[in-house]
Chain A
Amino acid sequence: MGITFRKETFRDDYTFRNSPDHIRRFPFPFNEDSYMYAVNIEPHVVGPKGSVLENLIDVDEHYVAEMQDRALVLAEDPLRCQSLPHMTLAGWDLLELLMEQQALGYPEHFTLTRDGDRWRWINRPLGIDDTFTFGDTSTLPYGPMEYITRQSQGDFCILDQRDGNLWMDAGMVTTQADWSLDFDIGMNFFEWHAPVPLAHEKGIFIRALKFLTNIQQGKPARRLNWTMTINPRLDTSPENYHKWGPDRATVTPENVGQKVHLRVELQSFWRLPRSNGIVFPIRCYLIKMDELVTQPKWARRLHRVIRDLPEELATYKGLTRYRPTLIEWLSKLDDGSPTSPGFGPD
């Protein structure tokens, strides 16, 4: 049993694919035929077997390849992982959370054994077997946050809570949709959301901050966010814009199905017990249009969502350049029939 980890790349030859099972478990983010911001936050509780919510920290067939890609990004640019000095304790909190959740969800792949402060961590997919002293940074090859997030899918922002605000004071961010930890580090919630259009006017951030600062230990929350990426590239950072930005001009009616990917972020929010910080894992899922449209409901609905998206949002999400080509391609798969309620495929 266990997961069969794919050998694949997120750069150069782009061999990334989703297996048929993984297409069906893709976290499609639209539950109706249109999209607008909402404070779409809900309790992060375990969902149906076989879904990405089967475990609160999801490990899937892309795990090994994603961790290899992360190592490549870090080798080129160590600033993708930063932690201000007061955040080390929160790093230990995160290490505990991720080790516990991965070992709980995937015992065939991960094992955590504790004897007081003496911990042993076995990560079979990556061939790691380390014993260390919890709380003693000198017993690990990296700081606690870097150590565990080199072994966990998704980006991680660790937020310090003070003065009624959240501050992005630590993080491991290598698979982001065009934002930069190095730019945002030390900013508060309103500062790092400043570029988002429309939502400020709606008071969404004030309500969201209030919700987040009240997140309680033992009661994590989650939301979905989405954008699109050309080619299955995990690292779409501002630092590397020169590599991925021009791809947006390469979409043609012939290659839409292969090149255009829906990029969904499953964001969850957890109160960390020792530091009283909040960790915000941003788990990125990619699916190419050819894979997505194997589910007719998703094809019809995505057509309507992209077609009717407000201009400001399309611009913010960087879709402008290829949006007409995508809409034209998707329109051929929309027979006009109604879509069923809910996110899942029919």
Chain B
Amino acid sequence: MSTGTTKLDVVVSDVVPVNELVTRFHFRRRDGELLPTFSGGAHVVVEMRDGNRTRLNPYSLMGSPLDTREYTISVRRDDIGRGGSLFMHRSVHAGLEMVISYPVNLFSLDLRAKKHLMLAGGIGITPFMAQTAQLAGSGGNFELHYTCRTASLGTYADLLQQRYGRRVRLYHDDRNERVDLDRLLSSQPLGTHLYVCGPAGMINWVRDRAAVLGWPSETVHFEHFAAPQPGAPFDVTLAVSGKTIRVGEQQSLLEAIEAAGVDPPYLCRGGVCGQCETNVISYDGKFIHNDHWLSEEDHRSGCKIMPCVSRFEGKSLVLER
């Protein structure tokens, strides 16, 4: 597949278990050169050759943008997911040659901010690893609030506290520690930008409270890559390529289109970047829109779909692909 970004040939240089759910992977370029420079918040799409199936999952780069000898990502194992994280945990080992995309940043720091206030939940810590490293390197003002289920699942919490001391605050669910969000948001200096990455519920909660408390929307940044949700299989006709395909239970519509030999553009594969937006020519049924890209009006219109995360239930669906 050639329509995402430029590709990088890498070798897995190290695989490091971090805790009972999270494993870190290190990549170096096969030709020994430096990897491309990136900015905090960027992700790469990792291609996984899983038997005769290619999985493409985005993962945030968590190393320091100041050091591009290697890229590092952290993958949380999801035992009931679609299998990408399980493949990473079970089948990826040091020495394996892999292909990843160039970095793409859909969760960039707003460099106008006087202060960067970061809220992370669980594995949502990964983009902040790179962002805090970038800001620390340039004397930027940041503060990180990190919620995790238990201390042992506080991925990189110790490391972050070691690096940044009081700029990092931890909250453990099992100790009933909660972010006093309203107080936190109300006490920030003017010019603060807010960044949130974590489970959808957390992102919605933070965005809602920020809006209620009068934060301008352009100062609130969030990253939520929705993993494609499984669902009932459905059939799709691709008008331009003249193919009819079946989307499997565990397969996304985008993956089914790719498997049929059609090469649609993509960047995030998580419903946020807009690259794979596709026109609907006709349909009889109901869309299950899971994306964050299209407007509510677009969703209602029945004219567009984001095949990376959205599904369909019904009799017929014809797409312009």
Contact = CB atoms under 8 A, between A and B. Distances in A.
Interface of A: 84-87, 89, 160-163, 210, 214, 216-219, 273-276
Given A163-B218, A214-B275, A217-B102, A273 B38 contact: yes
- Chain B contact residues: over half helix, strand or loop, or mixed? loop
What interface size band does chain B fall in?
20 to 34
Contact of A276 (B105, B273, B274, B275): B105
Contacts of B65: 274
A239 B169 CA distance: 53
A217 B5 contact: yes
Interface string B38-75: 11011000000000000000000000010000000000
B36 A218 contact: yes
B111 interface: yes
B187 interface: no
Interface of B: 5-6, 36-39, 41-42, 65, 102-105, 108-112, 138, 217-218, 267, 273-275
Contacts of A210: 274
Given A162-B218, A274-B65, A275-B39, A86 B274 contact: no
A273 B42 CA distance: 10
Given A86-B112, A162-B110, A218 B39 contact: no
Contact of B104 (A84, A162, A217, A274): A217
Contacts of A89: 111, 138
Contacts of B102: 216-219
The 4 closest A-B pairs by CB, nearest first: A273-B37, A218-B6, A86-B111, A276-B108
Nearest to B42: A276
Nearest to B6: A218
A87 B37 CA distance: 17
B39 A273 contact: yes
Contacts of B110: 86, 162
Given A160-B111, A276-B39, 10 more contacts: A89-B138, A210-B274, A214-B267, A216-B6, A218-B6, A218-B102, A274-B38, A274-B39, A274-B65, A276-B41
A36 to B, nearest CB: 24
Contacts of A161: 108
B218 A217 contact: no
A275 B267 contact: no
A217 B36 contact: yes
A120 to B, nearest CB: 18
Given A89-B138, A217-B103, A217-B104, A274 B37 contact: yes
Nearest to B103: A217
Contacts of B38: 217, 273-274
Contacts of B138: 89
Contacts of B103: 217, 273
A313 B235 CA distance: 48
A214 B111 contact: no
Nearest to B273: A214
Contact of B111 (A163, A216, A275): A275
B24 to A, nearest CB: 23
A86 B111 CA distance: 5
Contacts of B6: 216-219
B316 to A, nearest CB: 29
Given A274-B37, A274-B65, A275-B39, A219 B112 contact: no
